[in-house]
Each structure stands twice: as C-alpha cells, then as structure tokens.
Amino acid sequence: MKRLIEKGLMFGNLMHVDTPVLVERYNRALRHLTGKSTALAEFHIDISGYSPEIGDELADHYYLNHGGVNRQFILLSTEQRHCPLLNAEFSTSRDILRRFIDTNERQLFALTGTDAVAGELENSVLEVSSPEQLFDTRRIVVEADTTGGTIAHSARLESLIERFLSEQDAWFDGALIAEMVETAKLTGDISRNPVRLQHAEFEQKNFWTSHFGGLYLFTDVQHSALIASGEKPRGRLPVDRVLSFEDRKGIARFLEDNQLAEPIVKARGANEVVILRQKMDFILAATLAHRGVALDHLSRSDMRRLAPRHTEHLPKEYEGLAAMARWAETRGARPRIGMEHPSYFYLLRATNTPDRDLVNMLLAELSPLDFRQLFICHKHEFYRRYRSWSESKRAYVTNMLSREYAMDKAGARALLFGDGPDMHGAIEEPKAEARDAISGPNAGGETLLA
C-alpha cells in the first residue's frame, strides 16, 4: 500500500496534528472517550478524529469505532469536514459528521478554539450480531460536548436562569445565585454567545455497511431490498427482496423497478462514449498485466495496439463495452445486452436521485475491472482488491489515478456521473429519457440494455 500513500491515493487529505496544544487537546478527548492516550508528538486524523498512526501505536484501528457501531469522534477543528472517513463501517457516517459540522460551524469553531469536542454517533443498538439488527440503526443521534463539559454546563446554566426568573423570592436564594455565578465562569455569557448544537438527529434509510461481508440496504424506495456482496443472509427480513451478487438479473430488475440506474450512453454519437472507451482501456490493462506484459511505460495508444494480440484473453466485459461503443460511434447493429451479461453493470450509472452515490457504489462493486470507478465510489473494496493485484497492475493503476484522476477530480466525476442532486433538497424525479433507454422484456422475459 506504500505506493498508494506516496501518490496521495491513500490517507490523503487528512488533517495534520503537529502542535503540543492540539496533541494535548486530542489526548484529553481520547482519554475521555476511551481511557487511552497517545505518546506521539504528531499524527494525522480524518473527519472523525481517527488517526492511522495512533491505530498502529495502540494496535487497534477501531479505537474510536468499537464493534463497528456507535462511532465516536474527536473534533479539533471545523476544517476536519474536508477530510475523508477511514475504516467506515457505514456509508452514511461521513455525510452525517459533515452535515453536523456544517450546521454547527459557528458554535464548533468557538468551542474548538479552546478545547476538543468529543462525541458519538449513537443508534439504538450496541452491536450488530445479525442482519436483522441493521433495521434498528435507522435513527442516528449525534451526542457531543467539549472535554470540559461546556455544553452540559451551558444547559445547566439555562435551567438555573429559568428558575431564577420564574421562582418567587429567587433574589433571596443565595445558593441558587452562587451556583449561577460558578457555572457562568465555565460557560461565559450565554445570552450573547449561546452554546447549543443544532440538528443532531439523522436518519439512514438507504446505506451500505461492511458488516456480514458487505450489505446494501434499500428501505426508502418503492421496492425495498437487501443486497449482499457475499452470502445471502438467511431468515425473514423486512424487505421485498433479499439478493446476492450471484443474482445479477434480480439486482438489475431492482435497479430498473426503482429507476435507480440508467445507461451511460443513451443515444448514438453521445459524448459519454469516451467513458466506455476508458473502461475498455482499464480492462485491457488488467488483461495485459495478467499476461505478464509490463505496463510501466505504455501509453493508452500503445496498449490498444497490443489488444489484437490478446483478443482471445479479453473477457466478455470488454466485448460488451466494445459493442456498445461501436453502436454509439458508427452505423453498426444495435447491441442487445441482457441483464446477465458480464458487461451489463459496466454500461450503467446511477440516476439523479439522493441515492446516487450509494447506487454508484453498488455498480462499482458489480463492475470491479473498472478500477477508477471502484476507487472513486468504493475505496473499501478498491483497497481490498489492490492487495491481490500484480506489481505491474498496481504500478499502472496508481500512475493512472494520480496522473489523470487526481489532477481533476471534479471534472472526472462530472464526466462519469453527471451533475449530482442536491443531497439536502427535495428528491428529484428521474428524467423520462433514462427510463426509455431500457427496453421492455423480450420474448425470453429478459430486459435488454439498448
């Protein structure tokens, strides 16, 4: 993984904690949450305050995420909202933390000026020992305070002030006035600078979790489903369908029934055909690397010239992408690619809904030879697969991602996935043309991608 780290493709955009003041604040929060501390003089943290270096030091990379639920966090600065979330067990956790920071930016900026803010993403379960318990994790409450208890003291002071204003003869209650004075020393003037965090409750209805080998749970759609990357969970679950990756047709129908995915290329001559050509290049690179071809100094043109020599070794995913690209670029026959064809999910992307990122994550795992989409949408799976690749493929992938994707991330995402929806606004209806791009069932009862 060293190559990924050196290229900024792993542990990138972390916040550097390198001053004695910040290290001491972090340690106060760490002891408050876990009873542990670090002896490191500097380290890096993600949006939740997790540090890979401290994880190595403690021999526990889940020191803020015990059991994979109720993730704890440490905020030293509101700038952490720009950081990634490492070791994510739920796809919604980073978005919840970022929205919490954005909503309370002014308050958190003031609080982290003098102390660390420590907290937890709490749900109604303490552990997830069965898939059924995932349906009890829909409501997430963010509990947070400084290590000195500033918010709790502020709430206490507000209560005391309310008593003082409402009770008769409160002016003569020396004990009440003394407690107000002492508490105010801890909080400051809350009439001018109220210390209260807002929007601390969130719902996660559609999400991915790494538990049980990886599960995608869709409950907030017309036709609900649980989709397993590995073995399909047993038992009765409160969804319409329980699917595994082996049931490709079932997953394709689920996406179609809920209008969650659309073809990348919807018309002949569309500009999106460049995406198909890039996917073909990635598959070609994987094939050449597997055949022992050194990719270090090969350009895409060089690789394409080598393609005819390895035709019999190119997988069916390549064939399907090539057929669709030919149709989009020429007057060739329109390909009829069924749901069970290996290239089917390579030819799709998510429609413009609030679940776009989750659906693209699912599609990335269903089309793993497209390493760029896997890296963008599902880093957990990308890093897992990277460990098994040849040195030649690792070098090619890291060079390509650092050279072409990292230089213009926003542009690459716009090309691949289109304009994203307002994730905090109203749900937008998918465009009619996206639905029309998928033909109806043929005589054999199988939907075809056109």
The one-digit pLDDT tens for each residue of the chain (450 residues) are 788 888 888 888 899 999 999 999 999 999 999 999 999 999 999 999 999 999 999 999 999 998 888 899 999 999 999 999 999 999 999 999 999 999 988 888 878 888 899 999 988 677 788 898 888 888 898 988 888 777 666 666 556 666 667 777 767 767 766 766 766 666 655 444 546 677 678 888 899 999 999 999 999 999 999 999 999 998 889 999 999 999 999 999 999 999 999 999 887 777 788 899 999 999 998 888 888 888 777 777 878 888 878 888 899 999 999 999 989 888 677 888 999 999 999 999 999 999 999 999 999 999 999 999 999 999 999 999 999 998 888 888 998 888 878 777 888 888 888 765 443 333 222 222 322 222 333 333 344 454
397-415: per-residue pLDDT in tens? 998 888 878 777 888 888 8
Q: What amino acid occupies position 28?
A: R
Do 295 and 390 have their domain in common? yes
* Per-residue pLDDT, 418: 77
Question: How far is Cα 45 from Cα 52, in angstroms, rounded to an integer?
Answer: 7
pLDDT at 130: 87
Q: Work out the number of other CB atoms within 10 angstroms of the CB of residue 403.
A: 10
**DSSP per residue over 208-267, as a string?**
EE-GGG-EEEE-SSSS-EEEESSSPPPS--SSSEEEETT-HHHHHHHHHHTT-EEES--S
Examine residue 181 and state whether it is found in any structural domain, yes or no: no
**Boundary of a domain, candidates 225, 245, 265:** 245
Instruction: Look at residue 54 in the predicted model and tell me its pLDDT.
Output: 97
Q: Are residues 269 and 366 in the same domain?
A: yes
- Provide the pLDDT for residue 450: 46
Q: Side chain identity at 294, as an amino acid letter? A: A
Instruction: Give the β-pairing of 72-75 and 43-45.
Output: unpaired
Phi, psi of 116 (to 5 degrees): -85, 150
- Assess whether 398 and 267 both reside in one domain: yes
Q: Say what the pLDDT of residue 378 is.
A: 95
Q: Which helix (H) or strand (E) holds 174?
A: helix 174-187
129 assigned to some structural domain: yes
Q: Which pLDDT score, from 0 to 100, does residue 158 have?
A: 59
- Residue 151: CB partners within 8 Å, gap ≥ 6? 111, 144, 145, 195, 196, 197
**Residue 262 belongs to a domain:** yes
Host domain of residue 416: 247-449
pLDDT in tens, 214-271: 999 999 999 999 999 999 998 889 999 999 999 999 999 999 999 999 999 887 777 7
Give the pLDDT of residue 423.
35
What's the CA gap between 277 and 268, in Å, rounded?
Answer: 14
User: How far is Cα 2 from Cα 84, in angstroms, rounded to an integer?
Assistant: 18
For residues 185 and 188, give the distance between their C-alpha atoms in angstroms, rounded to a whole number: 6
* Inter-residue long-range contacts of 288-296, CB under 8 Å, 24+ positions, other chains counted: 289/389, 289/390, 289/392, 289/393, 289/396, 290/390, 290/393, 292/392, 293/392, 294/392, 295/392, 295/393, 295/395, 295/396, 296/392, 296/395, 296/396, 296/399
Residue 346 maps to a domain: yes
Whole-number Å distance between alpha carbons of 158 and 35: 30
- Quote the longest CA-to-CA distance of the chain: 96
State residue 280's pLDDT score. 93
β-bridge mates for residue 261, sequence order: 350
pLDDT for res 17? 96
CA pair distance 136, 72, nearest whole angstrom: 19
Q: Is residue 186 part of a domain?
A: no
Q: Are 216 and 198 in contact (CB under 8 A)?
A: no
Which of 146, 178, 195 terminates a domain? The answer is: 146
Q: Which domain-ending residue is among 245, 268, 295?
A: 245
- pLDDT in the model for residue 351: 94
Do 251 and 241 share a structural domain? no
In terms of Cβ atoms closer than 10 Å to its own Cβ (0-12, 13-18, 19+), residue 350 is buried
Which residue is associated with the tokens 């109203």? 426
Any idea of the CA torsion for 355, 318, 388, 231, to the nearest 10 degrees? Answer: 50
In a domain, 183, yes or no: no
pLDDT at 428: 27
Q: How many domains does the chain have?
A: 3
Q: Measuring CA to CA, how many Å separate 150 from each of 117, 154, 181, 381?
A: 10, 6, 15, 40
Does residue 63 lie within any of the structural domains? yes
pLDDT the model gives residue 443: 33
Q: Does 404 lie in the same domain as 346?
A: yes
User: Rounded to two decimals, what is the model's pTM?
Assistant: 0.82
SS3 44: strand
Does 220 share its domain with 267? no
Tokens representing residue 386 in the block: 């990277």
Q: Which residues pair with 242 in a beta bridge?
A: 226
> How confident is the model at residue 13, as a pLDDT?
87
pLDDT of res. 164: 62
Q: Which residues contact 287 (CB under 8 A, 6 or more apart)?
A: 310, 313, 314, 315, 318
Give, for 102, the enclosing helix (H) or strand (E): helix 93-103
